[in-house]
Amino acid sequence: MKLTGIATALILMPAFLAAQQTWSYSQCVEYARQKNISLQQARLSAESARLNLEAAQAQWQPSLSFSTTHGYTNTLWAEGRDKNSYGSNYGLNAGWTVWNGGERTATIRQREVQVRASEANAEGMQTELEQSILQVYVNLLYSREAIEISREAAALSAAQEKRAKQLMESGRMSKVDYAQIAAQAEQDNYSMVSAEGSYASQCTELKRLLELGIDSDVQPLQVDWTREEVLAQLAPIDESYRMALIADNQLKSAGLQAEAAKLQERVAKSSGLPQISLSAGIGTTYYAPGDAFGAQLKRGVNENIGVTLSVPILDQKKTKTAVALAKVSALDADLTREARETTIGRDIESLYTDVRSAQARYIAGEKQVEAATLSNDLVNERFELGMVNPVELLTAHNALTAAKRELMQAKYIAMLGKKRIEIYRTNTTTL
């Protein structure tokens, strides 16, 4: 494909994705990688670090400059010569620092480390963004399934209300009992509306992460996890922790920042050491009135070369202060790295606990749904015959709804935890 074709594809891709009604998790991640503002800013910081490295490497090159000076003089009471004169100088000057206490070498090494740290930080932000998208995406799936459960409960309540009204009109149910069943129907309708509101809120959050406009529509692609996936055993926790320490880009960035801070200490110390520099130049002059311009330039050509030794004696504690600040930065960077290691360990341990607890809840939830379904079916059969009081009917109805929600919550908590652990281990995941 030609470059113009690639550019066109990149331009049209966001518009195409934004127009989609259904988004898969991988499509959300890919779109966010290109459009998320915070991530783009992190990449710009990495680019700035690369430019700073180029500037540091260029310090080994000599400097070269051209200068010219022009002046006009008016002598008011001159006798025997012209009152007005014109003079000019032309020079080509070069300079090169031979030794500056090792500052250049230390600065280059520091900038190289900072480039790697900035790149790792950008990659870490990308992983963090993917975790945020994962959280919202799974919440969307959960909210959509919660809507379905609420709709089923509302439909069942509506049917029960209709039957209760018939029983009331036939004199087989009191108005008080009917009012209780009608109130349950209204409560189930409210629960359905509340679930729809939660779904809309999660859609808004996903659009924020994707940097989509208010007129965009985002609907998650349906994901159906099997019972085997939900209950699959986790890898050993110590293995996941070791893999996370290797894969985590935020930890890499913190370690590199600590290394850069230590190199900054070397840079700071170099300002207190002697410096040696070379200089050379060639120049000429012209003065009028006088000989011809070309003749004067030729006759006035001069060359110079020199060496300068600069030995700092008192610098108002600038070097000492810079070294002390560099040491403080190094200690702070070490603490940041240790804190990140602690955070990773705590998060993984918490995720393992949540997943195992959710798996146990899921197994118990299956039995609860089975028992609540049988009880609800039996109560409804008796209710159709007018043999059940409202309290018994509503208890069975609410027990079934609660059991379904408990099973659904356990499933999504378990799968979200599994996917987050996978991101910690490999920096990526799929749904």
- Residue 90 sits at φ, ψ, to 5 deg, of -135, 130
Angle (nearest 5°) at CA 127 between 417 and 123: 160
Helical spans, DSSP H, in 25-102: 25-35, 37-57
- By CB atoms closer than 10 A (0-12, 13-18, 19+), residue 351 is buried
pTM for the model stands at 0.82
**Contact (Cβ atoms closer than 8 angstroms) between residue 360 and residue 353:** no
What is the per-residue pLDDT for 169?
A: 86
Question: Could you tell me which of 271, 276, 262, 263 has the C-alpha nearest to residue 317?
Answer: 271
Quick one: DSSP state of residue 233? P
Residues constituting the chain: 431
What's residue 386's pLDDT? 75
Burial letters 104-134, b for 16+ CB under 10 A, else e: bbbbbbbbbbbbbbbbbbbbbbbbebbebbb
Predicted confidence (pLDDT) per residue in 347-361, tens digit: 999 999 999 999 999
* Residues paired with residue 285 on neighbouring β-strands, in sequence order: 89
Give the E-state strand segments of 182-274 in sequence order.
219-220
CATH 1.20.1600.10 fits 3-35+100-274+311-426, yes or no: yes
What digits encode the pLDDT tens for the residues 245-258?
A: 999 999 999 999 99
Q: Classify residue 58 by its DSSP letter.
A: G
Residue numbers in the chain where pLDDT is lower than 70? 1-21, 78, 80-82
Predicted local confidence at residue 78, as pLDDT: 67
Query: What pLDDT, on a 0 to 100 scale, did the predictor assign at position 391?
Result: 84
